[in-house]
Chains A and B, each alone.
Chain A
Amino acid sequence: MSRSRRVLAPYLLILPGGLWLLLFFVIPMVTMLSLSLQQGDVVSGYVFTGHWQTYVDAIGNYRTQLVRSLIYGAITTIILIVLAFPVAYWIAFYGGRRKPTYLFLLLLPFFVSFVLRTISWRYILTDEGMLLGPLKDAGLLADNFNILGTPVAVIFGLVYNFLPFMVLPIYVALERIDPRVVEAARDLYADPPTAFRKVIFPLALPGVFAGVLMTFVPASSDYVNSAVLGSSSTTMIGQVIQSQYLTSSNYPTASALSFTLMAVLLVGVFAYARALGTEDVMKVAAR
């Protein structure tokens, strides 16, 4: 191999990925940033004016939804950790030779679009549906009681849809634990809870971390669950952005809100990484 080719090789290797990122990440991001600083209307067109006031107005008008989304995202993530950890633990340590089957069952819902699955929940949870209907007929619930349209329904939908994304990373982390390490802990007189607290849980933390990344960010910016299972009192920021783009054709406000959401989530994730004492977010997430 000639010298020049050896020098070029790394650049050639990065070229496809680099072009991909440029085309589908950098350009859209710059376009969106530009859009957020434009003024005009959809009929006569939007023109770049460097109008930062859009950010001030957008955040002022939709602060409630932004905060609500972060709260829903956080609650969802906490519930997910509580639910997913035992499942992952059980599959990793007691799954035996059926492990692949259990993992397959976990992934089975992915064979149907999550929008369709969320819509099915609508039918189950609806005011006079198969769940509430009989209870109301029996007089156990008030006639105007409802689950749909409440934060409970939305968070339930989020938890339901994101559960596998929390189980899998935790499972992978637990699966990698060398059983001899746990045995060593027991040999050193750690009772099972102590072994779990001092050995297993710390070793599973990178999985929990990855799981949080994979659930908190999309759950906070989700708009399907709130649109299908919620009501106007559960509107999340994703819905506002969607509606600004796709109902009002108000591209600047929609872009400004997208950027704000992205910034808030980035800051949140880095703060979380700091608090956890991990030095490099990506290093942990990539494990």
Chain B
Amino acid sequence: MQSNLPDPSLIRGLTQRRLGRRDALRMSGLSAFAMALAACGVKGTGSTAPSAPAPDAVAKYWAGKTSNGKVDFANWPLYMDPKQPELKKFTAATGVKVNYQEVIQEMGPWFAKVQPQLAAGQSIGYDLMVITNGIQFKQFVDSGFLAPLDHSKLPNYVANADKSYADTAYDKGNVYSVPWTSGITGIAYDPKKVTRPITKLADLWDPAFKGKVGMYSDTQELANFGLMALGIDPAKSTAEDWKKAATKLKEQKSAGMVRNYYDQSYVDALGKGEVWITQAWSGDIFQKNVSDGTDFKFVIPEEGGTIWTDNFAIPITAQNPLDAIKLMDFFYEVANAATLAEYINYVCPVPAAQEQIKQDAAKLTGDDKTAMEAVADSPLVFPAQSDYAKLHYYVDFKTVAEQQEFQSIFEPIVLA
């Protein structure tokens, strides 16, 4: 059928608004705005960084590096005698001055803090830092933020370190890091408030401690306890398990059990009586008891604790890497590893230090001697092979998507 209507293009022209000069300007303005929006992308550094460094990466990085006589060292609180005897000894022996700062209290904030500077190739103000294996460690490596270590500059490490540390999943062959110390996440409690002995993870869900339970705000630490409470091994857990663990942790929270989710400030909260029972890192409680005369207890729950390793690493933009690696190696001298372990009571990566501590103990008398002998025999400092059976490793993420899913499951528990 022939239509009576005129040419369709004429109708279109009559009914639609025509684009005037003003519209054209407005649209070009909008598209310029859209382009500006698109131009503000955040550059990542990871896509090009290979997980294994090029064979000549070490030689290339260390070529032409000179000692500057100083090193800026970023570490966690409660990780050294406040009088810093080891650092004084290091300065006396080498002439290298150490600026020691306890600026790391949780891995997430630390990575987020230094990431922009490292991505821009700028110095973060530190030449040496201590970072935990886990999500952020992988992010540091994948982003190409860590300097490859020259093992020829680490003779003490080569001679004295526990060989098992070279065979970890997070840094095989200690390419980017060497351990500072390892630790165990368990439960700490104040026996003055908690009158029965604490033995298992379920105690963190006991209504008797309503509002007096401390949990970690680090999603991995938190998730591990939720998983282990359900009898799931974190290292082997799946996304399904994570959801179940999140439900378990949400029950604990909605029942009003949890006072707060803490970074390392949980030690302070325990000291002030804000929490009576809390997730805790093994050595912290020992040091708190020594320095403040408290009598807090630390237990590895029946279901198990988690073991993690804090590692020395040199940020790629370090100003004084040569001095930093010198300090790294210094802590692998048996005598220094021994005095450090004596004070901080964390798992010592130098097995020979155990004998050294026993010798140190022999020189002492009375209570000091007993205390020192206890350190040498402590399963928290020199765990026997059988002790490791009770310890679990962190969730091992295969992909970034997996890790993001994990974060999105556990983050709302901490924040909401």
Interface residues, chain A, with chain B CB atoms under 8 Å away: 30-31, 33-35, 37-38, 40-48, 61-62, 64-65, 126-129, 143-144, 146, 148-149, 231-233, 235, 239-240, 243, 245-249, 251
Report the tally of A-B residue pairs with Cβ distances under 8 A.
119
Q: Of A42, A61, A144, A240, which one neighbours B44 at CB under 8 angstroms?
A: A42
Q: Is B92 on the interface with A (CB-CB < 8 A)? A: no
| B78-111 interface (Cβ within 8 A of A) | 106, 108-109, 111
Q: How far is the CA of A247 from the CA of B47 in the complex (A)?
A: 21
Question: Which of A42, A246, A248, A251 is the one whose CB lies under 8 Å from B411?
Answer: A248
Closest-CB distance, B32 to chain A (whole angstroms): 11
Interface size for B (C-beta < 8 A) is 44
Q: Which residues of A contact B210 (CB under 8 A)?
A: 144
CA distance A264 to B70 in the complex (A): 50
Say yes or no: A232 contacts B261, CB within 8 Å.
yes
Contact of B407 among A38, A129, A248, A251 (CB under 8 A): A248
Q: Which residues does chain A contribute within 8 Å of B411, judged by CB atoms?
A: 248
B253 sits at the interface (CB 8 A)? yes
Q: Determine if B415 is an interface residue (Cβ-Cβ < 8 Å).
A: yes
At the interface, yes or no: B42 with Cβ under 8 Å from chain A? Answer: yes
Instruction: Name the B residues within 8 Å of A45 (CB-CB).
Output: 41-47
Asked whether B44 lies within 8 Å of A246 as measured between CB atoms, the reply is no
**Nearest residue in B to A133 (C-beta to C-beta)?**
B273
Q: Write out, one digit per residue, whether chain B residues 381-412 have a CB within 8 A of any chain A CB (1) or not (0).
A: 00000000000000000001000100100011
Contact, CB under 8 Å: A31 / B40: yes
Judging by beta carbons under 8 Å apart, are A35 and B415 in contact? no
Cα distance A128–B108 when bound, in Å?
Answer: 31
Instruction: Determine whether the beta carbon of A34 is less than 8 Å from that of B38.
Output: yes
Q: Whole-angstrom distance between the alpha carbons of A47 and B43 in the complex?
A: 8
Q: Give the distance to chain A from B217, nearest Cβ to Cβ, in Å.
A: 8
Residues of A close to B212: CB separation below 8 A:
144
Tell me whether B44 and A34 are in contact (CB under 8 A).
Answer: no
Interchain CA distance A149-B261 in the complex, whole Å: 11
Chain B residues in 8 Å Cβ range of A144: 210-212
Q: Report the bound CA distance from A246 to B111 in whole Å.
A: 8
Q: Which 3 A-B pairs have the closest CB atoms?
A: A45-B44, A43-B46, A34-B40
Task: Check B12 for interface membership: any CB of A closer than 8 A.
Answer: no
Q: Which residues of A contact B11 (CB under 8 A)?
A: none
Q: How far is the CA of A281 from the CA of B143 in the complex (A)?
A: 48
For A246, give the chain B residue with the smallest CB separation: B112
Cβ-defined contact, A43 with B139, below 8 A: yes
Once the chains bind, are B115 and A48 in contact (CB under 8 Å)?
no
B45 is contacted by which of A31, A37, A43, A126 (Cβ under 8 Å)?
Answer: A43
- Residue of B38, B112, B415 near A48 (CB, 8 A) is B38
**Are the C-beta atoms of B415 and A232 separated by less than 8 Å?**
yes
A47 to B256, CA, bound (A): 40
**B40–A30 touching, CB < 8 Å:** yes
Interface string of B219-254 (1 = CB under 8 A from A): 000000000000000000000000000000000010
- For B40, the chain A residues whose CB sits under 8 A away are 30-31, 34-35, 48
CB<8 Å pairs between A and B, sample of 5: A41-B404, A43-B142, A47-B41, A48-B38, A247-B108
Q: Does B154 contact A (CB under 8 A)?
A: no
Q: For residue B149, give the distance in angstroms from its CB to the closest CB of chain A.
A: 21
Hey, which chain B residues are within 8 Å of A33, CB to CB?
Answer: 37
B113, A246: Cβ atoms under 8 Å? yes
